Amino acid sequence: MKARSNIIPALLLPAAMLIAVMLLTSCADQSQQDKHAETHAHTDDAHDSHDDHNESTEQHNDVIKLTDAQLKSAGVVIEPLSSGEIVTQITLPAEIGINQDSVLHVTPRISGIVHQVHAYLGNEVRDSDILAIIESPDLGEAKIAYLQLNQSKLIADAELKRQGLISTNTEQLLQILRDNPTPTDLRTQTEDLRIGVNKGRLLSSYAQMKAGYANYARESELNAKGLSTQADLLAAQEMYYSAQAEYMAAFEEIEFTYRITLQEAQQASMIAKSSFENAERRLHLLGLTQDDVDRVVSEPDLDIAKYKLIAPGNGQIVTKHLTPGEHVDTENPVYTIADLSTVWLNISVYAEYAGLIREGQRVNIRVGDRKATGSVEYISALVSEQSRTVHARVVIQNPDREWKPGEFVTVQVETEQSHAQRVVPAQAIQNYEGNEVVFIQDDDGIEPFKVTIGRRSDTTVELLNTDLPIGTPIVVSNSFLMKAELGKGAAGHDH
């Protein structure tokens, strides 16, 4: 039994040692696993920490923090998002041209030889300025006829005045005679009347009639008393009746003829006046002003054939076709004057856009610092055979003469205008990391916001983002500086 008991411990010892080794190995493995797990955990923590750092860095790089002073210094303008109008424009070529409605072609109204030139190409002239002096035989003859007819009119007017006075005095004399005055009263009443030969004729015949009547009355009285023969009475009677007939004939003739003479004088005056006025009208037709015509009577003989070619209006001389000594006629213009305070903008409208252009549409033109606006006033009904375009016309103001006829420009025609809920200036849109964005401002700073673009024009853009509230502060000017700031931040992080 004792031997069996010694054998059992001997058998248990190797088993115990095997178990210990297994336990040690297990502990070592567990320790290694724990160490590996710890190491892995540490690595994961480090990686997570690095990821967190990246996220923090990216978040920091997408937000721009600038003070108001810095924004103002950089010229950055921030405005709240709002609705607005989207104006669709078409860009078309155009040429500045002279406003043909304001062009004045100056053509002499008489032919002659150019004596002096007062206005030259490029000169600004005003209405009634003297452009040139032309010597014209036609004008000289017209002035001579005017002078002659003026003299005839003066003579006719003077004669009419004289006949008017004679007529008035004659009528007064005849009225006095109708009252049968005594010869003494007649002389007294007619002493100051100026009539002419008719006065002497009437007074003489009246006196003879009165004398014949007195003699006849005396003979009648003597005959009644038997102191005179019948023959003497008949002789006195015949003498009286003869003087009476002579007087009555003179009275009636003078009464009739003085009116005829007055009418003839009136007619002669009217004819002289009409002829004179026609001569004056001819001078006006030849281009003389009323002042020029009034000076014809007193002007020197050497100037009688000189014709003043005057400007018919204000403007600039754009063509000139005369020199001293040159013969000019009434058919060919010698000057062209254009009022350049307005000019035409002649737009060439391509066929595919012809249906979009309408009268009244706003047109914008800008070349460097020069800019102007106008509206379409005329659209041609025909297509140009050479350019295959339709011509549209705009009148633009040109007070400073900065738009030069013949200059080629590009214009924008506003063809449509519509309302949009969210509108920003076109310069507010930037391309960032492959997306179109605007830069919005919030409590964190300024950051990009991806947008969806709707309708657009050259100046404004519609945003379709309903998740972007109206009133959101948006960078509307110099937004490219925000993009540049983000670019600097991304470059520093990559480093």
- Reported as a single tens digit per residue, the pLDDT across 96-132 is 999 999 999 999 999 999 999 999 999 999 999 999 9
CA distance 137 to 184: 65
At residue 25, the pLDDT reads 35
Does the pLDDT value for residue 53 go beyond 90? Answer: no
pLDDT of residue 194: 86
Q: What is the model's pLDDT at position 458? A: 76
The residue with tokens 């964190």 is 444
Helix (H) or strand (E) holding 183: helix 183-189
SS3 136: coil
What is the average per-residue pLDDT within 253-276?
Answer: 94
Residues 124-145 have a mean pLDDT of: 95
Report whether pLDDT(370) > 70: yes
- Looking at the chain, the whole-number percentage of residues with pLDDT higher than 90 is 67
pLDDT at residue 219 greater than cutoff 60: yes
Please give the Cα distance from 60 to 489 (Å, whole number). Answer: 9
The CA dihedral of 183, 184, 185, 187, to the nearest 10 degrees, is: 80
Region of residue 196 (phi > 0: left; psi between -120 and 50: alpha; otherwise: beta)? left
**Helix %, strand %, coil % for the chain, to 5?**
50, 30, 25
User: Is residue 79 a contact partner of residue 323, using CB atoms and an 8 Å limit?
Assistant: no
Quick: pLDDT tens for 306-353. 999 999 999 999 999 999 999 999 999 999 999 999 999 999 999 899
Residue 491 pLDDT grade (very low, low, confident, very high; cuts 50, 70, 90)? low
Q: What's CA 433's distance to the chain center, in Å?
A: 52
Q: Under the phi-then-psi rule, with left for phi > 0, alpha for psi from -120 to 50, and beta for the rest, what region is 186?
A: alpha
- Considering just the CA atoms, what is the radius of gyration of the chain in Å? 59
Q: What is the mean pLDDT of residues 26-46?
A: 40
> Above 90 in pLDDT, residue 88?
no
Cβ atoms of 108 and 329 closer than 8 Å: yes
pLDDT at position 490, please? Answer: 58
Q: Edge to edge, what strands does the sheet with 124-125 contain?
A: 103-106, 335-338, 315-320, 124-125
Residue 482 has pLDDT above 50, yes or no: yes
Q: What is the mean pLDDT of residues 150-159?
A: 96
Residue 36, both tokens: 């590996």
Instruction: Compute the distance between CA of residue 92 and CA of residue 361 in angstroms, rounded to an integer.
Output: 14
Of the CA atoms within 13 Å of residue 306, those in its CB half-sphere come to 15
The CA-atom distances, in angstroms, between 297 and each of 133, 144, 146 are 19, 10, 9
CA-closest candidate to residue 453, choices 415, 486, 413, 424: 424
Distance of CA 326 to the CA centre of its chain: 36
pLDDT surpasses 50 at 24: no
Comparing C-alpha atoms, which of 453, 445, 466 is closest to residue 426? 453
Question: Residue 308: which of 156, 317, 299 has the closest Cα?
Answer: 299
Q: Which two tokens stand for residue 178?
A: 């109708």
First to last CA, the chain: 85
* Amino acid letter, 153: K
pLDDT at position 475 over 80: yes
Which residue shows structure tokens 């945003």? 463
What residue has token string 């059992």?
8
Stretch among 50-54, 190-194, 425-429 having the lowest mean pLDDT = 50-54
Q: What is the mean pLDDT of residues 447-469?
A: 91
Q: Where are the alpha helices (DSSP H) in 98-229?
A: 137-178, 183-189, 197-224
C-alpha closest to that of 282 among 143, 156, 148, 154: 143
**Residue 110 backbone phi and psi in degrees, to 5:** -140, 155
pTM of the model: 0.57
DSSP label of 63:
S
Residues 163-191 pLDDT 10s = 999 999 999 999 999 999 988 888 888 88
